[in-house]
Amino acid sequence: MRRVTLEEVARVAGVSRATASRVVNGASTVDEALRHAVERAISSTGYLPNIAARSLVTRRADAIGLLLPDERRMLGDPHLASVVSGVTGVVRPLGVHLVLMMTGPGTREQALSDLRCGRLDGVILVHTYPSDPVPRQLIAEGLPVVLAGRPLDPMPITYVDVDQTAGAALAGRRLKSLRCGKIATITGPQDTPAGQDRLTGFMAEVPDAVVVHGDFTRQSGAAAMEQLLRCCPDVDGVFIASDLMANGAIPVLHRGGRKVPDDVAVVGFDDSTAALTSEPELTTVRQPISDMAAEMARQLLRQITKPRSPVTSVVFEPSLVVRESG
């Protein structure tokens, strides 16, 4: 098969060869509209960059790491699948390999080693925990890193997030608009920024809400709903801080003879595929996961091509998606 040239990509995109070359090489100085045009042209023409030749010029591995939770959680969380898709959509047209790294014994140390030795050009951290030393190690060594979500403790690291507090406030206002008399929330883990912010935003709107804790998993949603029905049997509106937890919680309501939304209105958070597999389909706060993941990839590529780029944060706006549950 004839190899598509960079000149053809430039012609299809309607830009100069120099502009197309800068996009392919990950330059951060290209106008966003032009960059999107070149990425579309790369996809439509099937252009494949000459990785070996480019590596000789750039002295880069043309590979980035995506550090994810353990495989069992990865397979059960539709949120994470959207992250992978969003990152891949940016890096694949540029000929940059994506290395998926599941959290496990030695994984974080391996990621650090790969960065230090030049086997990876940078890493996106999707999964961190409160005492995780890796973010600060990466910062101290000046290695390219982007965090999914704001850090729990302030640190000079680039991150991409949604306005979690504002999103949870949307959920609170929705339940109040439905004239729910006894409102509760099932929270996410309180040692994570997302769990904290979603609780803070919701309680600002519904300060007298009953609070039961979960950990963003389907199983914790079911257990928390059982606890909620025991302590607050007259509950008629619930904000559940993730769609996956709502998937576990709604069947508990049904088994208890409570109809959704007739008896209990339910609002989730994420707008993942779990919202559409819920019965009934879930009213939820949408965070644009694929767009956020694509931005993580762009921010990481910016750091790789311009090592002295300033630390930045990109925060997306949430929106409420009204469906059948509330």
pLDDT digits over 69-101, tens only? Answer: 765 555 567 778 889 999 999 998 888 889 888
> Are residues 127 and 62 part of one domain?
yes
**Is 323 a domain residue?**
no
- The yes-or-no verdict on residue 122 having pLDDT over 70 is yes
Residue 246 structural domain: 164-286
Mean pLDDT for the stretch of residues 36-51: 81
- 26-49 burial, b at 16+ Cβ within 10 Å, e below that, comes to beeebeeebbebbbebbeebebeb
SS3 145: strand
Lowest-confidence range among 128-137, 186-195, 232-241, 243-252? Answer: 128-137
**Is 326 a domain residue?**
no
Q: How far apart are CA 154 and CA 127, in angstroms?
A: 17
* Percent over 90 (pLDDT), the chain: 60
> Are residues 43 and 25 part of one domain?
yes
> Are residues 278 and 181 part of one domain?
yes
> Are residues 124 and 41 part of one domain?
no
**Is 195 a domain residue?**
yes
Tokens representing 102?
């599941």
> Are residues 210 and 245 part of one domain?
yes
Total domains, the chain: 3
Distances (CA, A) of 142 to 88, 223, 263, 297, 299: 24, 43, 54, 18, 15
185-239: pLDDT as tens digits = 999 999 999 999 999 999 999 999 999 999 999 999 999 999 999 999 999 999 9
Number of alpha carbons in the 13 Å side-chain half-sphere of residue 231:
14
> Are residues 27 and 84 part of one domain?
no
> Are residues 187 and 276 part of one domain?
yes
> Are residues 140 and 67 part of one domain?
yes
Tokens representing 226?
């059982």
Summary mean pLDDT of the chain: 89
Mean pLDDT for the stretch of residues 41-47: 85
Model confidence, pTM: 0.80
> Are residues 263 and 151 part of one domain?
no
> Are residues 177 and 97 part of one domain?
no
Tokens representing 174?
């929705």
pLDDT band at 285 (very low <50, low <70, confident <90, very high): very high
Domain of 88, CATH number, reads: 3.40.50.2300
